[in-house]
Amino acid sequence: GFPFPVAKAFGLVFALFCIGGSFGGGNMFQANQATSAVRGMLGDVAGINWVFGSVLAFLVGLVIIGGIKRIGQVTEKIIPLMCGIYVLAGLVILVIHIKQVPDAAVLIVRSCVSPEAAYGGFIGVLVQGIRRAVFSNEAGVGSAAIAHAAAKTDEPVREGLVAMLGPFIDTVVICTMTALVVIVSGAYNTPEAGQGVEMTRWAFSETLSWFPTILNISVFLFAYSTMISWSYYGEKAWQYIFGTTRTAIIIYRVIFLGFIILGAVASLDNVIEFSDLMILSMAFPNIIGGVILAPRVKTLLEDYWRRYKNNEFVVYD
């Protein structure tokens, strides 16, 4: 384990970047993409970014004042429904374009390892891939551990195993499906398709003309649930540094809600740069800590499997 002063320093660094991450990837980026989705439905109405950002901040505020229980109640209803609709629509498109799917998969792999990729800057491509992967599933960042630590369980190792499902569903299932849809639709090399959620909307609309409306609603709900989840992560990090007084908590929540409005009106490129910086910075102390504590984790995991096989789970009062 860590000597206490070192552990304290690691905790402080992680908490600082976690607060930044809650304002960036967990807030501004989500608000930006949700605003883009609404703009896609309503058009470029004058002042819509400011108005929608303010409304979104109000809606998030209604939930986060209720704490972790309210957050859990909202997200457990939103996420399964939206994931199901999105995956179903993606499968429909891939079935329609089934003959193109193998070529799309080959293109993904070839673009990663081809001489052209190396010529264009292998390290740069690698860094960009890591940035997008970390931003997508938060693996190694340490944010999800904050939520899972709040779970009431007799077996912490079991909770850790459940936590591993998150990156798998997010990346292996949803992100892979999205990438294939973007490729088979031709959106990836069509300039007018735009970027971010706009490209995804264009890709789906090429096959399912009615789906962009559902996608826009899904993007809004995904962004909304992500923001209220990250508000909890950031708030816990804030409390680690500034204490658990009511004043400290209110200050954080007000700042968090202000960043929602800022994210709604800022440009996507600026939002991504700030979000990437904060979330990637969280990973460094978290990964170092994970490596150092790996032997302890290995011991606990082996003990868990032994008790699992022998049905000897400990029940805590």
Region for residue 186 given its phi and psi (left: phi exceeds 0; alpha: psi -120 to 50; beta: otherwise): left
Instruction: Convert 97-136 into a string of H (helix), E (strand) and C (coil).
Output: CHHHHHHHHHHHHHHHHCHHHHHCCHHHHHHHHHHHHHHH
Whole-angstrom distance, CA of residue 123 vs CA of residue 198: 27
pLDDT tens digits, 232-279: 999 999 999 999 899 999 999 999 999 999 999 888 788 888 888 888
Give the CA count within 13 Å in the CB-facing half-sphere of 65.
Answer: 9
pLDDT tens digits, 187-203: 888 777 777 777 888 88
Give the chain's mean pLDDT: 82
- Between 246 and 78, the more confident residue is 246
pLDDT of residue 63: 84
| Cα–Cα separations (whole angstroms), residue 272 to 17, 36, 75, 248 | 15, 14, 24, 28
pLDDT tens digits, 82-138: 778 888 888 988 999 999 999 988 888 887 666 555 555 555 665 666 666 666 677
* 65 token code pair: 């004042």
